[in-house]
């Protein structure tokens, strides 16, 4: 079964957009291994939009742009596989992709077969230029079936930006992850808006099909295609913590060949990855959520453990009050939490009834907790 836990990897779009080529993708695959990201589970190297020629070949097949990819896609897939990684590509449910390259509407079978022949392991399937009179969910049913008919196991990454209440039907369509919002930008407002829009929908994420809150902007520092102001390291920390807590797919969007030590340490934090990949794959619930941006999420993990994430999404420093009554722990139970800080390793014991967490603007705290006698 694919996607027992949220899929992890890297995608070219956030940083590179149309500036993609064989050498850069090969260097990225090398860097995934050399930085240790691959060993931690980031396994898919995905080429997004702008990889093909503007027209199909005479045989009706998609053709890789020979200037960008002089040896073709099979060669690149073989290289990515030789590194122990998996290879992902991109198409779209409409007549043209978002960047107006040929797409797979009513070409599902031939395109799925082309991807399978090239050795593709992952297909991101976008939603631009879908004819208005074509049914959205049906486009995903069709491509899902075409991928299965190709004879190759291909992870199906749907990207319809949350249209048609996607969370209600996309798992049934055979998809393994699904974009649930419009595109992320490299600034804190975008991160905050996406996270808050998805919290009440995370219960739809289950083994086999996970919410994809969009590619990470961690480590972009206002460079690249989705730069819109940038973030600082505290904001990237909160971004990654939210995506891990919410069991989102984790697709890195920065240039992994040139990460700062802070970015590498964040994306490789083993406690956060273990949280994201928790085998029970349960959704968190919000038990503090105020209009001014105070948020606390609580999540049941495997082995009777819990995760507590406290987020100050507001623009000024706060003391966030977490009332444990609201997660199921009442004062008369004689229990409290022993909590390990997932960033510092420090162990904290709480009161039986509450925890008050001082947080700078845009900062967060994340704990792995177990119940102990008070
Ligand atoms: C859409 C998607 C993005 C990216 C671009 C490519 O906007 O949501 O993630 O794939 O198209 O053109």
Q: Are residues 93 and 125 in the same domain?
A: yes
CATH of the domain at 178: 3.20.20.70
- The per-residue pLDDT for 219 is 98
Tokens representing 247? 């069991």
Q: What is the pLDDT of residues 42-51, one digit of tens each?
A: 999 999 999 9
**3-state DSSP assignment of residue 338:** strand
Total domains in the fold of the chain: 2
Q: What is the mean pLDDT of residues 25-41?
A: 99
- The per-residue pLDDT for 304 is 98
**Ligand 1: residue whose CA is nearest its atom 12:** 98
Domain termination residue (choose one: 257, 276, 295): 276
Q: What angle do CA 119, 124, 127 make, to 5 degrees?
A: 140
Q: Which atom of ligand 1 is nearest to the CA of 215?
A: 9
107 confidence band (pLDDT: 50, 70, 90):
very high
- The per-residue pLDDT for 128 is 98
Q: What is the pLDDT of residues 216-254, one digit of tens each?
A: 999 999 999 999 999 999 999 999 999 999 999 999 999
Question: Cα(118)–Cα(32) distance, rounded to whole angstroms?
Answer: 21
**Pairing label, strands 318-323, 250-252:** unpaired
Report the separation in Å between the CA atom of 306 and the middle of ligand 1, taken as the mean of its atom positions. Answer: 35
The residue annotated as part of the active site, out of 183, 233, 326, 353, is 183
The residue annotated as part of the active site, out of 48, 126, 214, 255, is 126
Q: Are residues 267 and 303 in the same domain?
A: no
Sheet with 86-92, edge to edge strand ranges: 210-212, 177-179, 155-159, 122-126, 86-92, 44-46, 8-11, 250-252
Burial of 190 (0-12, 13-18, 19+ CB in 10 A): buried
Report the separation in Å between the CA atom of 126 and the middle of ligand 1, taken as the mean of its atom positions. Answer: 7
DSSP state at residue 28 = H
Q: Are residues 266 and 292 in the same domain?
A: no
- The per-residue pLDDT for 199 is 97
Q: How many CA atoms lie within 13 A of 146 on its CB side?
A: 22
Q: Would residue 183 show up in a list of annotated catalytic residues for this protein?
A: yes
Q: Which of 11, 49, 166, 180 to mutate to test the pocket of ligand 1 (most atoms within 8 A of CB)?
A: 49
- The per-residue pLDDT for 338 is 98
24 confidence band (pLDDT: 50, 70, 90):
very high
Give the range of the structural domain holding residue 236, as residue numbers without chain letter. Answer: 8-276
Q: 0.75 cut: is pTM over it? A: yes
Report the separation in Å between the CA atom of 110 and the middle of ligand 1, taken as the mean of its atom positions. Answer: 22
Closest C-alpha among 240, 221, 217, 218 to residue 229? 221
**Average pLDDT across the chain, whole number:** 98
Report the separation in Å between the CA atom of 264 and the middle of ligand 1, taken as the mean of its atom positions. Answer: 25
Residue 290 lies in a domain: yes
CATH of the domain at 341: 2.60.40.1180
Q: Are residues 264 and 198 in the same domain?
A: yes
Q: Are residues 243 and 291 in the same domain?
A: no
Q: Which atom of ligand 1 is nearest to the CA of 97?
A: 12
- The per-residue pLDDT for 168 is 98
- The per-residue pLDDT for 135 is 98
104 confidence band (pLDDT: 50, 70, 90):
very high
For residue 212 and ligand 1, the question of a CB distance below 6 A is answered with no
| Residue 272 main-chain phi, psi, to 5 deg | -75, -40
Domain termination residue (choose one: 276, 293, 327): 276
- The per-residue pLDDT for 146 is 98
Q: In 10 A of CB 166, how many CB atoms? A: 26
Give the bridge partners for 308, in sequence order.
Answer: 298, 367
156 confidence band (pLDDT: 50, 70, 90):
very high
100 confidence band (pLDDT: 50, 70, 90):
very high
């Amino acid at each position: 079964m694919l996607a027992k836990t949220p899929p992890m990897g890297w995608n070219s779009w956030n940083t590179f957009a149309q500036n993609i080529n064989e050498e850069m993708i090969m260097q990225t695959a090398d860097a995934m291994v050399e930085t240790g990201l691959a060993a931690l589970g980031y396994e898919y190297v995905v080429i997004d939009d702008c990889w093909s020629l503007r027209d199909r070949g005479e045989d009706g097949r998609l053709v890789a742009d020979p200037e960008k990819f002089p040896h073709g896609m099979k060669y690149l897939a073989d290289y990515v596989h030789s590194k122990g990684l998996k290879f992902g590509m991109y198409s779209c449910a409409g007549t043209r992709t978002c960047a107006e390259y040929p797409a797979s509407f009513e070409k599902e079978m031939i395109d799925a077969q082309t991807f399978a022949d090239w050795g593709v392991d992952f297909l991101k399937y976008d939603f631009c230029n879908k004819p208005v009179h074509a049914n959205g969910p049906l486009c995903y049913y069709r491509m899902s079936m075409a991928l299965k008919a190709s004879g190759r196991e291909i992870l199906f990454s749907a990207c319809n930006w949350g249209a048609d209440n996607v969370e209600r039907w996309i798992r049934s369509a055979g998809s393994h992850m699904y974009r649930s919002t419009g595109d992320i930008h490299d600034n804190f407002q975008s991160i905050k808006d996406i996270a808050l829009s998805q919290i009440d929908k995370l219960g739809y994420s289950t083994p086999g099909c996970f919410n994809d809150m969009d590619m990470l902007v961690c480590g972009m520092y206002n460079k690249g295609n989705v730069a819109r102001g940038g973030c600082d390291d505290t904001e990237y920390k909160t971004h990654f913590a939210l995506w891990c807590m919410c069991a989102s797919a984790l697709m890195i969007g920065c240039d992994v060949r040139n990460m700062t030590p802070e970015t590498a340490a964040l994306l490789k934090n083993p406690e956060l990855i273990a949280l994201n990949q928790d085998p029970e794959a349960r959704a968190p619930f919000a038990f503090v959520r105020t209009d001014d941006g105070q948020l606390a999420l609580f999540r049941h993990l495997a082995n009777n453990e819990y995760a507590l994430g406290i987020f100050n999404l507001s623009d000024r420093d706060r003391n966030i009050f977490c009332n444990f009554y609201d997660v199921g722990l009442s004062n008369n139970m004689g229990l409290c939490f022993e909590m390990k800080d997932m960033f510092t390793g420090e162990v904290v014991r709480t009161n039986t009834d509450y925890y008050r967490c001082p947080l700078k603007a845009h900062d967060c705290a994340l704990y792995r907790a177990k119940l102990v006698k008070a």
